[in-house]
Each structure stands twice: as structure tokens, then as C-alpha cells.
Structure 1
Amino acid sequence: MLTVICESPGVLRAQQSEVPARSAGEVLLRVSRVGVCGTDLHIFTGTQPYLQYPRVMGHELSGVVVEADSESGLVAGDGVYVMPYLSCGKCVACRQGKANCCVNIKVLGVHQDGAMTEYLSVPSQFVHKAEGVTLDQAAMLEFLAIGAHAVRRADVQRGQRVLVVGAGPIGMAAMIFASLRGGRVVCLDTRADRLSFCTTHLEIEAAVAVGPDDAAQLASLTDNEFFDVVFDATGNINAMNRGFEFIAHGGKYTLISIVPGQVSFADPEFHKREATLLASRNATPGDFDTVLEAMRGGHIPDAALNTHRMKLEDVPSEFPRLLETGQTVVKALVEC
């Protein structure tokens, strides 16, 4: 089978490898689609903090069952999606139903080889039928579920003023689900093309470009009160630290981003607001169900979100182009 390996930062290689042998309790999949995530771009550029090379990237995937145990409830030919967070089921987080932050988590494509290959064998508890959605849509469930999880963590309520800083795919996912909960959503980003995409395809109230007067614009949009809920989806430590300035009194700040650095803020400003600071990591099965329901109801502009496509065999040559200036990439799908 064909497999694409990231040998080291900036080096992708296509090679032939053996079809994996399925163990008891696993499902052998024929991979159909793989979504390219910011994590994959960080792996390629050498800025992913939890990785050792070489690595087969890819954790957003859909596929078709080739072989499964009878007790799994899956049969050959089933279209499926995979929850790529392989949790232990035993640690303190898993015992609380928070397998998304499992102490011993192994994420496909990060901690172990992922889906940029033709066949993959995965423990059956992480494989679910993609009923009522296409395989393209199923491959986009994971990044959307991360946004849905963050919105649920922040408990966005109808009528609340919501700011999403960072208009990449995860930020867009947060915008979508905050809007579906009735939030009044504003996005803040440095890129005019991303802001334009959000105003065209997502149900947001305003888009603000980062610049000398951005704080004044955000203040004006909120009667100088700023935002009940702020999300950071930038992956930029300076932006993460600055986001504390935009929290309304009594508000919440949810960090979807992760960076290898120290988050800092002025305690008097944080304290006088009685602000709440939240981390949001990965997603739970319930978050995937939320996305599936929204997709089936036609509430996700998935066709617009899928801006780029490439064949698996073309990944070594096409993947670097996703980083080129001028490419308005939201979600690229690899066809296996």
C-alpha cells in the first residue's frame, strides 16, 4: 500500500509499505479521506511540540471497513469516521468521562502513525458509523468537533457577545457552533481573505482586522463592554496573552490554542472582572454527535470549507503549497 511519511521537518516521502495486520479488537479500514490540519502543518514545519520523526501524519479521517470483529457492530463496507484520540480508559480523566484529556492519550498522526496511507487498523471503540453524511463530510468531523467542544466548555448562551480570535479552521468551527447556540459572533484576524471568508460563509455579526484601531472597533461593537466569551484559536502566544484584554466583566476566556510557552496576564485586570479561564482540548464523543446532527441538518457549510483537494500520491509535491502566501486554505482533503 502507498504511505506518505514526514521523515523530518520539510521532508515528505511516498513509499510502499505492508498492509497492517488487524489484531483482535481492531477494525481494518480502507482510508478514504484525510483532512489536513494545522497540526499537520506544524509537523511539516517542525513546530509541533509532541512529536518524534519520522511520522505518518493524518488524524482527521474517514474510511470504509474492510474487516472487523462481529461484536464491534461494524461490517465490511460500512462508511466510518475515527475519533483519533486513543485514550486509555483507566486514568483520572477517563474515569470522569474526559477521555479527550486522557493522561496516556495517543493521538493518531502525532503520537503514533496516522492516516496518510491506504489502510489503517484502529481499535474498534474509536471507529463509528458515518450515518447520514458523506465520506468527505466525515473527514471534517474532527476539526469541527474541536470547535463544538470549546463552545460547550464555554457554555455559550443565546444573545451573548462572542469574540473568536483566529479565523483558521478551528476558529471557524468555534464561530459556527457559537452561532448555532445563538451567540452574537465577531471574529478578529490578521488576514483579509480569512475575514472575507467568514463574513461570506459563516453567520457572524462582524469581522475585524488586527491593526492599530482593532480594540476601538471591538469596544464600539459591544458598547465598550467587550465580550462575554472570548476564544483564542491563533496558536500565537502574543495573541493569547492579548486576548485577556477583550473579556467583559464576568466573562470567560477559552484557549483552544496550544503553544510551547508561558501564558501571562495582569492579575488585577483578570481579578476585577472575576473572569473565568478555560482550556479546551480535543473533543468528546458527544461533541462529534453534535457536529453530525448539525451536518445532517444542513447547518455546516462543509462544501465551502473544503477549499483544497489532493491525491495521496501527490502529497509530497502538493502539501508544501498549502503554506504558500495567497493560498486561502480552510480545509484541504487528501483522497486516498
Structure 2
Amino acid sequence: MACGVCVEPGRFRIETRPLPTHAPEGWVLVDIAAIGICGTDYHIFEGKHPYLDYPRVIGHELSGHVASGPDAGRLVVVNPYLSCGACRACLRGKPNCCAAIAVLGVHRDGGMCARIAVPAGNLYPADGLSVHQAAMVEFLAIGAHAVARSGVGPGDLALVTGAGPIGLGTALFARLAGAQVHLMDLSDRRLALARRLCGFDQLHRPGDDILTGELAQGFDVVFDATGSAPAIEAGFPLVAHGGSTVLVSVVKGDIRFSDAEFHKREARIIGSRNAQAPDFDRVIAAIRDGLIPTDALLSEVVPLADLPDRFAALVDDRDDIVKILVTP
């Protein structure tokens, strides 16, 4: 089968590998239908991902059909976070931050291929969704999990910094939770996409004097989806007294903040990593109910065979892209 492999930073190619025909006990073979490309994959291509060894078959936003057994042919969403089930986090119901987590396409080879073996518990039925919608569930679940972690609700003021796919997903679920959502990004093109595709109209650029009027006291929750340490640090002064910063993105470097300011505000910093089964369920239900504009979020479908010639350009053009899906 053809597999999409990032051989080293800046080099992506198609490799032929054997098609899996058997799965370990408790695992299931899945015929991949669609693969989403996300910021993680762009960072892998650019050599910026903190947890990855090359070469790697990328792809962790996956939809597919069960290949055999009583559920053969059923459309499923793949949860790409493989947990150990035995560490303290797993035993406390937090497999998304398992101490020995193995994320498909990051810590181990992913699903940019025709078929993959996955633990049965990592498959969620996607009845009522298209294969393209099902492949978008995982990235939206990242935002849904961040919103659940934040506790944001009706009447709250929320700021999402970073209007890429993860930021848009976070903003959509914050809006569904009842918050008044603002978006901030360096890119006017990304902000324009957020307005045109998702109807967000409270848009800001870094450096804008936004702490005026009803925003004078800051935001109840600031979600960072930038992947930039300076942007994270610039977001801390925008948090209201009693508010929270939710770190949805991950950066290689350290971040710094004023302890005195955080103490004065009794503020919280909340890490949000990956997603859990209830987040996937929430996203699947929201898509099925027509609450998420998946057609608008889908920028293009690219055949895997075309990707080696397209990858570098997609990285360069990502300000004009929400979600690229690849078909094996």
C-alpha cells in the first residue's frame, strides 16, 4: 500500500509498505477513507514538532471503514491517542494525557495509508456523517476538549488567539457553550476566513487596544491556539480577574508570566491536551445536528499521490486554508 512519509524536515514522499492483514488481539483493521492535514503535520514537515522522530508516516485525523468482523463496512472515527491504561493519568480517567501516550502519526506511524490497525476502544461510530465529516472530528474534538476544560459558559467573554483550524474549532465550541467569542490573529486572511466561513465578527490583531468598553476588564477565558510563546505571553494581560488562560497549542520553548499579576487576579493556567471520548461524542453529535459548518471548513480534497508535489505549497498557503483532506 502507498504511505505518506515525512522522511525528514522538508521531505515528504510516498513509500510502498505491506498492507496489514492481521490485527493484534483487541485491535481492529480499518480501511482509511480520509485523512486530515493539520498544524501538527505542517510542524512535522517544518521540523518544529517537539515529540517526533523521523521518518514517520503522518496522519492522525482519520476516518475509515471497519475492514472485517461483525462491524465490517461501518464508518468510524479513529481516536489517534493510544494510551497505556495503567499509568496514574489513565487510572484517573485521563488517557488523553497518558504518561506513555503514543499518538498515531507522531510517536508511531499514522494513518496516511490504505489500512491501519487500531485498538477497538479507539474507534467511534460515525453513523450519519460523511467520510469527510468523520475525518474532521478529531481536530474539532481538540477545541471541544479545551472548551470543556475551561468551564466557559453563557455570558462569558472568551478570546481565542490563533484563528487556524484548532482555534476555529475552539471558537465554534465556545460559541455553542454560550460565550461571546472574540478571535485574534496576525493574519488578516485568517480573520477574514473566520468571518466569512463561521460568522465570527469580533476580530482583533495583536497589539490592538482592545481592553476598552465592555472588554476593559479583560476576558473570562483566553484560549491560546497560536503555538507561539510570545503570543501566549502577550495573552496573559488580557485575562480578567478570576479568569483563565487555556493552552491549547504546544510550544518547544518556555513561557513566562508575572506571578504578581496572576496572584492578584487569582487566575488559572490550564493545559489542554488532545481529547477524550466524550469530546469526540460531542463533536459527532454537533456535526450530525448541523451545528458545525463542515462544508465551509473543508478547503480541498487532495489525492495522496499528489501530495509530495503539493505539501510545501500547502505549508506556505496555510493562511488561506482551513482543512485539507487527503484520500488514500
TM beyond 0.5: yes
Q: Is the 8 A contact 2:241 2:267 kept in 1?
A: yes
Deviation at 1:221, TM superposition (A): 5.2
Deviation at 1:115, TM superposition (A): 0.7
Q: Distance in 1 between matches of 2:323 and 2:213?
A: 29
Deviation at 1:325, TM superposition (A): 4.4
Deviation at 1:203, TM superposition (A): 4.3
Q: Secondary structure at the match of 2:35?
A: strand
The correspondence of residues 285-296 of structure 1 with structure 2, limited to 5 A, is 285-296=277-288
Q: Distance in 2 between matches of 1:103 and 1:179?
A: 32
1:151 aligns with 2:143: no
Q: Is the 8 A contact 2:190 2:319 kept in 1?
A: no
Deviation at 1:262, TM superposition (A): 0.9
Q: Deviations over 1:67-95 (max 9, x none)?
A: 24xxxxx5211111100000111110111
Q: Secondary structure at the match of 1:104?
A: coil
Q: Is the 8 A contact 1:34 1:139 kept in 2?
A: yes
Q: 2:289 aligns with which of 294, 297, 304?
A: 297
Q: Is the 8 A contact 1:62 1:135 kept in 2?
A: yes
1:10 aligns with 2:6: no
Partner of 2:300: 308
Q: Secondary structure at the match of 2:252?
A: coil
The correspondence of residues 29-178 of structure 1 with structure 2, limited to 5 A, is 29-68=30-69, 74-178=70-174
Amino acid at match of 2:14: A
1:239 aligns with 2:248: no
Partner of 2:313: 321
Q: Is the 8 A contact 1:188 1:209 kept in 2?
A: yes
Amino acid at match of 2:285: E
Deviation at 1:132, TM superposition (A): 1.5
1:192 aligns with 2:192: no
Q: Secondary structure at the match of 1:22?
A: coil
Deviation at 1:157, TM superposition (A): 1.1
1:183 aligns with 2:179: yes
Partner of 1:270: 262
Q: How many residues align?
A: 327
Q: Is the 8 A contact 1:193 1:328 kept in 2?
A: yes
Deviates more, 1:268-277 or 1:145-154: 268-277
Q: Distance in 2 between matches of 1:202 and 1:66?
A: 35
Could you tell me the percent identity over the aligned residues? 46
Q: Is the 8 A contact 1:179 1:204 kept in 2?
A: no
Deviation at 1:8, TM superposition (A): 0.7
1:225 aligns with 2:206: no
Q: Is the 8 A contact 2:187 2:319 kept in 1?
A: no
Q: Secondary structure at the match of 2:182?
A: strand
Q: Secondary structure at the match of 1:254?
A: strand
Greater than 3 Å deviation, 4+ residue runs: none
Q: Distance in 1 between matches of 2:260 and 2:90?
A: 35
Deviation at 1:158, TM superposition (A): 0.1
Deviation at 1:301, TM superposition (A): 0.7
Q: Distance in 2 between matches of 1:5 and 1:157?
A: 41
Q: Secondary structure at the match of 2:300?
A: strand
Q: Secondary structure at the match of 1:39?
A: helix
Q: Deviations over 1:170-215 (max 9, x none)?
A: 100110000001100000100111111112222435001224xx1x
Q: Which runs of 5+ in 1 are unaligned?
A: 69-73
Q: Deviations over 1:100-123 (max 9, x none)?
A: 000110000000000111111111
Distance verdict in 2 for CA 1:36–1:272, change over 3 Å: same
Deviation at 1:22, TM superposition (A): 2.0
Partner of 2:200: 204
Q: Distance in 2 between matches of 1:29 and 1:43?
A: 24
Distance verdict in 2 for CA 1:261–1:326, change over 3 Å: closer
Q: Which runs of 5+ in 2 are unaligned?
A: none
Q: Distance in 2 between matches of 1:200 and 1:121?
A: 38
The correspondence of residues 253-268 of structure 1 with structure 2, limited to 5 A, is 253-268=245-260
Deviation at 1:15, TM superposition (A): 2.1
Q: Secondary structure at the match of 1:35?
A: strand
Partner of 1:71: none
Normalised to the residue count of structure 2, the TM-score between the two structures is 0.97
Amino acid at match of 1:19: L
Q: Secondary structure at the match of 1:272?
A: helix
Q: Is the 8 A contact 1:50 1:111 kept in 2?
A: yes
